[in-house]
Structure formats: structure tokens, C-alpha cells
Amino acid sequence: MSSPFSLVERRCRLPVPAEEAFAWHERPGAFERLTPPWERVEVLERSGGVKDGARTVLRIHAGPVSMRWVAVHRDYVAGRQFADEQVEGPFSHWIHLHRFDADGPAAAHATERIEFAPPFGALGTAAGMWVARPRIERMVAYRQRVLEADLAAHARFHDRPRLQVALTGSTGLLGSVLAPFLTTGGHRVTPIVRGTPAAGEVAWDPAAARLDPERLEGVDAVVHLAGETV
């Protein structure tokens, strides 16, 4: 009997061991790195990483319409796989499996498998073949290109110590890309912000030339991206 769900599955080869590819996904910034720029996604709540029971709440924007997407993680096997299941959102069924298989001691294959069903029964399934599937395929292809490129870049410096980097403009066009690139590579990023800092951030008032140097103790590098808009 055929499955009532549609399936998108894609595999790519990564230039690092499976354990390192898996660890990359467990670090802060992985979701941001893998979200395509054409998808307007806002993270409302996130807890628990990718282990079983971890929960992520998103707001998905599609034109003038926005909707909540609540995902709960499941099927966690350390160093090997994890999955997320949509429990609230636009699909009537969505399970996204991420699996990592060794390809010798220094490489791995990453497989993304998305089992989904659009809403509205048979009508939705027919529409999904024309609308949802191409969009999901494009998303997965983008994610795997980024993953492969990022892991290759970090692998060139695998024997170097991880750094603590202070970063201004962390929410800007460049900073919002650089920060998750660094954190998924195992580096620590300390945002330097104007206004009231959140936990882990450092306050900076350039007009008053005010910045507490003690808050930057242990920083290896400062990247200043808070100038004029590019």
C-alpha cells in the first residue's frame, strides 16, 4: 500500500567525519545558517537543542500572511541522527530527519529526508506536488550547499584553537551571517550592542565613548561591522 505522504530525500558528501557534521548541527547558529534567505522566518522560542523533546516555535511569513510553526525534536541518536516533527503549522504532516553516515574516517554522507502532507486532503496533496515539493527541494539543496561549504571552511583550520570574537553589528546584513558561521565552527561570539544588552552581550555607547573593557577580557579578536549600512 502506498504512503499517503510525499517524500523529499537528498544526500550529500561532507569533508569531515560524521561526528563533526553532527556536532555542527548541535551548536548555536545552525538553524540560522541553514535557513534560506528567501524564507522569512522568525524564531519566537527555542529550547533543548536537537535532543528528544526539544521545542522550537517559529513565525513563518508568506506574503501578507504569517503563521506559527511548532516543531518538537525526536529520534535523537548521538553522533548519528535527529528529527523534528511539526506539531502545529501549515502542514497536516511533517517529519524532517537528519542522518549522518561515515564514509571512511575523514568524510561522511548527510541525508535529509522530509515526509510531508499539505492540508486539505487530496486537493492539498495535488497542490503540494506543484507548489510545496519544488520549494522543499530548493530549500534542502540550499541547506546542503551551505553545510558542505561551511564544514569545508572550518576543516581548513581544524588544528587551530577556537576563538572568542567580539562582534559589533551582529544583527546587520553581514553580522547576522558571520555570527552563526563562527558559532557553528565552535567559536564563541560576544555581541557588542548599543542600548540595553541581553545576557552574553556587551553594552557600547559610541556617542559617550563608553565601553567597559573588563567585559572584553579574554577576547581574541574584535570584528567591527556597526558602521554605515552596506
- For residues 7 and 97, the answer to whether their CB atoms sit within 8 Å is no
Q: Work out how many domains the chain is built from and give that number.
A: 2
- For residues 113 and 101, the answer to whether their CB atoms sit within 8 Å is no
CATH of the domain at 64: 3.30.530.20
| Closest alpha carbon to 162 in 138, 191, 184 | 184
- Say which residue the cell 547576522 belongs to: 176
- Taking 50 as the pLDDT cut, the residues of the chain under it are 1
Whether residue 142 is contained in a domain is answered as yes
- Domain end, chosen from 155, 182, 203, is at 155
The string of pLDDT tens digits covering residues 76-100 is: 999 999 999 999 999 999 999 999 9
Q: Are residues 64 and 122 in the same domain?
A: yes
pLDDT at 38: 94
Q: Which 3-state string (H, E, C) describes 59-88?
A: EEEECCEEEEEEEEEEEEECCCEEEEEEEE
- Domain end, chosen from 134, 155, 176, is at 155
pLDDT at 143: 99
The string of pLDDT tens digits covering residues 66-79 is: 999 999 999 999 99
pLDDT at 195: 87
Domain of 195 in residue numbering reads as 164-224
pLDDT at 118: 85
